[in-house]
Structure 1
C-alpha cells in the first residue's frame, strides 16, 4: 500500500477515536462464531433434561506413570458410526491440579500448522515447575481418585466429570453442567455428519463480522468450552482486564466477560468489553476456602458467570488445547502463592520505578524535558522518571532520535542523572517500512506473516508498518543488537523502556488488531497466540536489557500482558478519561490486577483524554500515590498539567500527596519484596484479611485497601465535593485503627467517619503495626538512600506491634540485602535481621500510639517514660546512639 493511503487511514482512525469507544468495532458474543456456538450448545443442554453427553473417558486407556495420568476422552458422533479421540494428561504441579486435553489430528498439507496450539504453557509458566511425586492414585472401572495434600479429585469416566474436595468438603465440580464442547477437526464438506443435535453451525467456516469477513478460517471450527460449578462460592474475582467492578458480575442474559487484547480508545466503565491485557485466572473466595481457576489458553476467550450460592463459570475459547489448573487453599494468599510457583512472581522492581513518573504525549525537545525537570526542583516536588512518547523518534521510526529536537540524548540523560532522574521512552512493535530496522526484519525473515505466508503490512502511528514476530527465537539476538545501539552506551543506566501498542494495535485491522489468520513462527495462526503476543514482546525487550546490563534490574512498562507478564514488566490501564468515574473505576481495576498476581499496576493520573478540574486532578494524585505504578500522563491535545503549573491551593495539595508517596517508599519497597517471594498483592483487598467475617459485605469492598502487610488502610476520595469518608474494614476487625491522615498519626482511634478536606489523604493505621518512613524531602528516590527512618508504631490492644523493612541497593539483580523485623511490646523494642547487606540503616525517630505511656526523653541506654515500661531490649541486638529526643542506630 502507498504511504498516502496509510496516512488517510490513520487520520480517520484518530478522528473517530476522539468521541468514545465504538461498540460496533468489537464483536459481541452473539457475533463471534465460537462464543455464539458454545452459548447455544449450553442453552440447548440446559433445556434438555434427557441430554446424554457424547464425551466419556475410555477406562482401558488409563495409565499412570511418573505421577502422571494419561488417557483418552472419546467423543461419539450421532450421525455416523464413528468417534473422535482426545488424549489427556493429569498431573499435580507443586500443589495444583493440572489438566490438559489435546486432539489427534490428521496432517494436512497447508501453510498453517494444523495442530491445536499447545505452547501457551511454555510462555505462561516458569521453567522447572515440579510434578508432585507424592500424589496418590486409586482407580476402578468407573473413576479414578487423585489425592494430594488436603485435596482429593474424583475423575468420573461417563459422563466426564471432575469433583474436587478440600479437607473433605466438596468445593468444585468440573463439567457438572456437561457444557464440555470440543469442536473437532472436520472439513466443510463433511460438516453435517460431525455436528451434534445441540450445536449450531453459525460461522463455522466463515466470519460475517464486517471487519473480519476476510478471515479464511483454514482449520474450520475448533473451539473449546467447559463449565466449572463452584460449590459454596458466590464471590468471584479476577480475569482482567475490564473496566468493571472488583466483584465479578452475573452475566446471565448479558454480555460475558471477554479476554481479547485490543487497543480500545476511551474505554467505557461498567463494561465487559475486552481491553489491553488478559490474565485468565479467576479466584473464588468464601469464609473457609479460596479457589483459583487458571484457564491456560491464549486465544480469544469469553467467560459466562452465573452467580449464586453455587456459582457456575463457563469458559469458551476459539481454539487451542483444553488446559486448566485448579488451585485450592485456605486463603486467597495461598492461591496467589501457588499461582506464583507456576507463572512466577512479580520482579522486585528497581526502587526508582516506585517513585513518581511524569509523562505526556509529548515533550517537545530536550530543552522542554530539562526545563520540566528543573521546575520540579524549583517547587520542591520530587519525581524519578520523565517520559517521552512517539514524537521523540525520527518520523516515528523506533530506535532513532529526532535529530532536530532530540539530537543529543546522551546529554539529556547525563543532566537527568545528576539528580538521580531517569528517562523512559517508547518503543512499539510496529516498525515503519522503508528504513534499516524494518528492512532487516523483512530480510532476516523476522516479520509477522499474512495468511499467504508473506510479510504482513498494516498501519499504525508511522503509517505502513511491519511487526516483528517475537515468538521467533531468532528475533532475540536481533532485538539485543538494536537495544545495545539505541541505549546510547553503558555509561547511561538511567534509560527505561515503554512497550505500548503490543496487543498488537493495527489501525486497519479487524477489531483494531492483527487479522486472526496471520501467521507466526511455527506456522501458528495469530488467533492461537493473540493474547500472549504482548508478553512475548516485552519479554524480548527484558532479555535485551539484561543482555546489555546483566547486573541491573530493567524497568519496562507494557500495555498488553498475559499470565506471566508480572515477571518482567509493569502495566497500566491504558487510555482512560479525565472524568470522576474513571478515577473511581481505577481502584478496582488495580486491585484486580493485584489479585491475579500482577501487582505492578497503575492508571494514568489525571486521565489520558481531557482536561480535569483542579479538584479532580488533586483527588486523582491523592489516589495515584497508592497505585504501585504511579504515573501522570496526558494526551497531546490536553492542556499541560504538570503539578507545578497548578494554581494554589491545588499545587500545594498535589505536592503534599507526591511527597507522601516518597515518605512511604520504604513500605512500598518492602511490600514488593514480599510480593516477589510469595505472590502476595501489594495493594490488598479488604477481604484478604477478613474473609471469615460473618458479614458478607466484606466481599463487596472495592474502594479501600491495605498497603501490603503494613497495616496502612487507604480509601481514596473518588466523589466530587466529598468532605469526609467512612471506612468499612475497621468494623470487621477486633483491633483499633488509628487516624493516619496524610501520613501523620495522631493517636486518635477511628470511629465511623474521617474528615477528608481537599487537602487530605484519608488513611488509617491498624493497631499492631510498625511502619518505616523517610520524611526528608529529596528530589528523587536515589538521593534518599542515606536518609534515616522514622518508625511509626501503632500498638494493638495487647500492647504489641510488629513490622518489616527491606533494604538493598535498589537496582542490582541479586543484590545483597537486609530484612529487618521490628517487635514492640510493653517490655521494649527489639530488632532482628536476615541478609548480608552492609549498608548502614539509621532510625532518627520513633512515634508510638495506642499505649498508656509516652516517650519523653532518651538517656542511659533506655527510653524513659512515666511508667518506665519501654526499654531497649538488648544493646547488642539493637546497637543504639542516644540523641536529643530521638533514637538511632548504625551499621546493622
Structure 2
C-alpha cells in the first residue's frame, strides 16, 4: 500500500533521529579517547583566515586621504583608500579617559550595516572621551597629543604610531597587513566568474596542448588576457577589474567543512590588521588556550584561535580554540605595560611573531629595539581596537575595567570549596556526601548536581523518582550553611509538553536557520532548540524562569551554565552553523563568541530578580567573552585527570586573570579519567590557592570524594581545604579590591615585580594578592621543588614554619605529600580565621588572627574587608574596611578612607608577629573603650611573637603598643 506524504515524512524523521543518536553515541565514545582534531578547523580550512594570512608584509594598498580629515575635540575622522579596488574606509581615532585610545575602521558606504557589538553588552557603556590636541596636519599625516601620549597618523602607506613620553609602544599597520573585505553583491562575482570561464574556452591551443585551467581563486594573467584578445561585452578590462575587486575565490561565497555547508549569503566580510609592540619581547592574554602564559610565536603553527567551542579532553600547549574567547592582549617590559582590546565577537585568529631582530628605526632614529608583531584576523564586523597605555600593569587592569567592568564581589560561599560530579544520583546520595564530609571534618560549602537531576534533561525540572523533595533537600543543606548548584543549559528539549520549550516556541524566541525556521540540533536531551539570547527580550524571558513559581527551588540554590558555546553535537565543529540567524537578522558568524556571555548574563539577572535584587547571584559559565566577569565565575572546561592538565591549569588561570576573568578555576582532579591519589592530592593543594575551588568528575569515573581516599591522602587534602578556609578573609578582601580596581587576586609574579625579567615567562608559580607566593607541585613523585623568590631585599616566610627565604634568588624547598609551598611576603599583614567549621557560613562571627611579617625596617601593612558576605547591602555602604599598619613597634587599625559602616560580631583573637626582635616586655592596647595590658610571649622555636586575646571588635579603631 502506498505511503502518505505524512507517513513518509514521519519515517524519514525517524531515520534521521536514529542517525543523530548514533552520532551522539560516537561523540560520547570520543570522550574516552580524547579530542579529535579533525572535528575542528585549521587556518587553512577557514577561508578568511587563509586569505588574511596570505597577505604579504610591506605591501599595503591603503593610503589616508588627508583632504577628508575632520577634527573634533576628542576624535579625528578621515577616509582611507584601498588603491587596488578604490574602496574607501572611514577611520576614526578617539582619545578616551584613563589614558586609553580607540581606533575604529569601517566601510565609508557599506551596502548594508556591518555588525558592531551593542554598547552596554560588552562595553559597560560608550567610553568617556577625553580632549586631544592636534599639533600637526599635513599631506603626510597628522599628529595629536593627549596626556603624555602622542598619536601619529601616517598617510602612505597608512600607519598609526602610539608614543608614550616620546617612546613608541604600539604601532598599527606597521607591517601593512590591513585587509578589509568590503560588502559586495554575489551577482557581480558570478558575472566575473562567467567572464573568466568564457576566456578559458577562448584560449588557443599551444604546441598541441590546451592551457591548464587556473587553480581555484586564480584569475588569468594580464598577458593571457591580451593574447586571448577577448573581453566580454559590458565587462571592464582585467587590469581595471583587478583594481576594483580583491582576488575572488569560491570560498568567499560558500564554504564546506567536512559535510557541513556554509551558505555565506553576505560573501567575504573579513577584517585583518597587524598591531606591533616595539621594545617589547613578551605578550600575554587572548585566552582561552591550554598554553603557556607568555604567548608563543606562531611562525610554525596555526595562529591562536578565538572561537567558542566544546572541546573534549583538549590537547595541551597548542593554539586551538577552547570554550571562551577574550580578545585582550598585554605587552610588558621593564619600563611599562600596555594592552589592547579587539572589540569583535566573530571567529578570530591571531598570529604572533616575536623577533628581537625586528627594528622600528623610522620611529626613533638611531635606535634598535625588539618588537612583537601580532596579526588580528576576524571573519566579519568592523575593526574596533582599544589601546590601553598603562603605564603600569595595574593601570592597564583599571583601564580595561572601565571598558568592560569587573567581577562583582562574590558571596563568601562561592570562593569556598565546591563538590561536584556528573552526577550525584538522588537525594539519598546527596545526604550521604553531605554527611561524609562532616564525618572526616572537611569543610564544604556547595554540592552540585549535573544534568541527570532533571526530568529527561528538561532544565528547570527535577527527576521526580530521584529528587521528589528538592526543597526539603535544600533546607537540609541550608541548616549547615551549605548551598546547592544545579545545571541549566541553554539547549531546550523539543517537546511540546515541556513548558519552557513550548513557551519559547509559542513566543517565537528561538534561533532560526537561514531560511527562517526554528534551528534544530542535537545535545544532551536529543533533538533540541536554542533560545536566541542575543535578543534582550529573550534574556528578559529567561530571567523569569528562576522565580520560585517557575522553578521549584530555594534561596540556597544557585546555577551552572554549561554547553553554552553553544555545543551542538551534530553541528559543524560541534556548534551552531555560522549562517543561522539571530535577533536583528545577524548571522551567528557575526556574534558567535557572545552567545555564552548572554546566557550567563540572563541567568545572573534571573537570580537577582528571584531575590528582588537583594542577594548576590552565583553563576558558573563555561563559554565566555570579554565582559563575562560581570556575571560570575568561569572554569576551564573538560580537562583530564593527568599531570599535564594539572600543570597547565596555572598558566590558563593566569591568562584569564590578566584579561579580566578573575573568578576562575579548573576542575580539581580533572573531569575525565581516574587520577591516582597522589595526583588528586597535589591538585587539591593547587586548587586551594586558585580563585574558584571546585572538584568535578565525569559520569564514568570512579568516586573520588576526599573521604574515599587512603588516609594519608585524605589528611593532606583535608589540610589543603582547611587552609583555603583559613585564608577566606584574605581572598574576600582581594575580591573587593578586584571589584573596585580590576586587579586580579591571582597574579603573575611580574605584576608585583615589574622589573624582574626572570619572572616575565614564569607561570609555574604565582601570587595571591601581593603577599602570598604559591608554587604548586605538578610533577609525579616530586618531593621537593625549586622556588624563585622575587624582590631584592624582600624576605619570604613559609606559612607553616616561618622559615625565611631572601628574595632575588631561588631555593630548594622540601615538599612532601602533606605540603604545598606557600610563602608570605615581608612587610605584609594577612588576616586569617583559624577555627574549623563545616562551612563558611558558620565562620561568620569567628575571630581573626593577624599574621604580621615585618620587613627590614620593622614595618608591615595590610587590609581587611568585612560585610554580611552574601547580600548587596555593601553597595549601600554597609561594610567595614580596615587598614592595618605596623611601625616602630606600634600596630594600628583604622578605617580606610571611604569605608562604610556595618555591625559585626567579628573580633581579633590573636596577633602573630614574624621578624620581631626580642626584648618586648609589655603590650598595651588603646581604643575608644580605654587602655589595657595584653598577654604576650615569644615563641623561640617558631621565632614568632604572639599577642593573645586583644578581644576587640573589628569595627573599632585601635592601637597596640609593644614596649
Q: TM-score, normalised by structure 1?
A: 0.93
User: 2:524: which partner in 1?
Assistant: 461
Partner of 1:745: 802
| Range with greater deviation from structure 2 (417-426 or 474-483) | 474-483
Aligned equivalent of 2:782, options 722, 734, 740 = 722
Could you tell me which residue of structure 2 aligns to residue 101 of structure 1? 105
Among 570, 587, 601, the residue aligned to 1:539: 601
| Counterpart check, 1:637 vs 2:700 | yes
How does 1:106-505 map onto structure 2 within 5 Å?
A: 107=111, 114-119=112-117, 121-127=119-125, 129-133=127-131, 138-191=136-189, 193=241, 201=249, 203-212=251-260, 214-308=261-355, 309-434=370-495, 435-485=498-548, 492-505=554-567
Match in the other structure for 2:820: 761
1:480 deviates by 2.5
Partner of 1:599: 662
SS across alignment from 2:704: coil
1:851 corresponds to: 916
TM-score where L is the length of structure 2? 0.86
Deviation at 1:138, TM superposition (A): 4.4
Paired residue for 1:625, among 666, 688, 703?
Answer: 688
Q: Distance in 1 between matches of 2:174 and 2:284?
A: 21
1:804 aligns with 2:863: yes
SS at match of 1:35: helix
- On the 8 A contact 1:41/1:198 being kept in 2, the answer is no
Q: Distance in 1 between matches of 2:35 and 2:71?
A: 52
The question of 1:70 aligning with 2:84 is answered: no
CA offsets per residue over residues 309-333 of structure 1, 9 Å max, x none?
Answer: 2110000011101110001112211
The DSSP-based 3-state class of the residue aligned with 2:546 is helix
Distance 1:195 1:644 in 2: 72
1:713 aligns with 2:713: no
The separation in 1 between residues aligned to 2:89 and 2:454, in whole angstroms, is: 51
Q: Check if 1:59 corresponds to 2:66.
A: yes
TM-aligned CA distance change 1:486 to 1:134, over 3 Å:
farther
Can you list the C-alpha shifts for 1:172-210, whole angstroms capped at 9, x where unaligned? 211011000001122345345367898573621121321
Q: Is the 8 A contact 1:121 1:296 kept in 2?
A: no
CA contact (8 A) 1:827 1:871 kept: no
Structure 2: gaps (5+ residues): 1-12, 193-240, 356-369, 937-947, 957-963
Aligned-partner SS, 1:186 = coil
What is the root-mean-square deviation of aligned Cα atoms in Å? 2.0
Q: Which whole-Å deviations, capped at 9, do the CAs of 1:117-144 have from their partners, x for residues lacking one?
A: 1125542101353112366564333322
Aligned counterparts of 1:439 and 1:168: Cα–Cα separation in 2? 62
Secondary structure (helix, strand or coil) at the match of 2:424 reads: coil
How big is the shift at 1:739? 1.6
Confirm whether residue 526 of structure 1 aligns to residue 588 of structure 2.
Answer: yes
Q: Distance in 1 between matches of 2:839 and 2:253?
A: 58
Aligned to 1:823: 885
SS in 2 for 1:670: helix
Q: CA deviation at 1:156?
A: 1.7
Moved more, 801-810 or 880-889: 880-889
8 A contact 1:410–1:488 mirrored in 2: no
**Displacement of 1:729:** 3.0
Deviates more, 1:775-784 or 1:62-71: 62-71
Q: Are the equivalent residues in 1 in contact too, given 2:83–2:243 (CA < 8 A)?
A: no
| Counterpart-to-counterpart distance in 2, 1:508 and 1:208 | 15
Q: 1:33 aligns with which of 39, 47, 60?
A: 47
Aligned-partner Cα distance in 2 for 1:592–1:199: 38
Match of 1:16 among 13, 26, 30: 30
Check whether the contact 1:698–1:729 (CA below 8 A) recurs between aligned residues.
Answer: no
* Equivalent residue runs for 1:544-555 within 5 Å: 544-549=606-611, 550-555=613-618
SS of equivalent residue, structure 2 residue 130: coil
The 8 Å contact of residues 461 and 551 in structure 2, kept in 1 or not, is answered as no
**1:386-414 deviation per Cα after TM superposition (whole angstroms, max 9, x unaligned):** 00000011000011111111121100110
Change in Cα spacing, 1:881 to 1:359, as seen in structure 2 (3 Å) is farther
Partner residue in 1 for 2:3: none
- Could you tell me whether the CA contact under 8 Å between 1:399 and 1:486 is conserved in 2? no
1:693-715 Cα offsets, whole Å, 9 max, x none, are 3xx32211101111113x11110
Change (3 A) 1:194 1:440: farther
* C-alpha separation in 2, matches of 1:733 and 1:592: 26
Q: 1:852 Cα deviation (Å)?
A: 1.3
SS at match of 1:123: coil
Cα displacement string for residues 555-579 of structure 1 (whole angstroms, at most 9, x for unaligned residues): 0000000000001121000000010
Q: Decide which structure has the larger Cα Rg and report it.
A: 2
- Whether the aligned pair in 1 keeps the contact of 2:117 and 2:344 (CA below 8 Å) is no
> How far does residue 871 in structure 1 lie from its aligned partner after superposition?
5.4
* Structure 1 unaligned residues grouped into runs of 5+: 108-113, 855-864
Greater Cα offset, 437-446 or 547-556: 437-446
**2: CA distance, partners of 1:92 / 1:106:** 25
Matched, 1:84 2:94: no
| Cα distance in 2, alignment partners of residues 9 and 147 from structure 1 | 59
- d(CA) in 1 for partners of 2:243 and 2:446? 57
Task: Compute the displacement of 1:527 (Å).
Answer: 0.4
C-alpha separation in 2, matches of 1:706 and 1:587: 11
**Which secondary structure state, in structure 2, belongs to the residue aligned with residue 56 of structure 1?**
strand
Please report how far the alpha carbon of residue 147 of structure 1 lies from its aligned counterpart in structure 2 after TM superposition.
1.6
Distance 1:307 1:880 in 2: 63
Q: Deviation per CA, 1:212-244, whole angstroms, max 9, x where unpaired?
A: 3x1101111111111112110111100000000
The 3-state SS of whatever aligns with 1:496 is: strand
- In the comparison of the two structures, how many residue pairs are matched? 854
Structure 1 residue 71, shift from structure 2 partner: 2.4
How many angstroms apart in 1 are the aligned matches of 2:96 and 2:407? 20
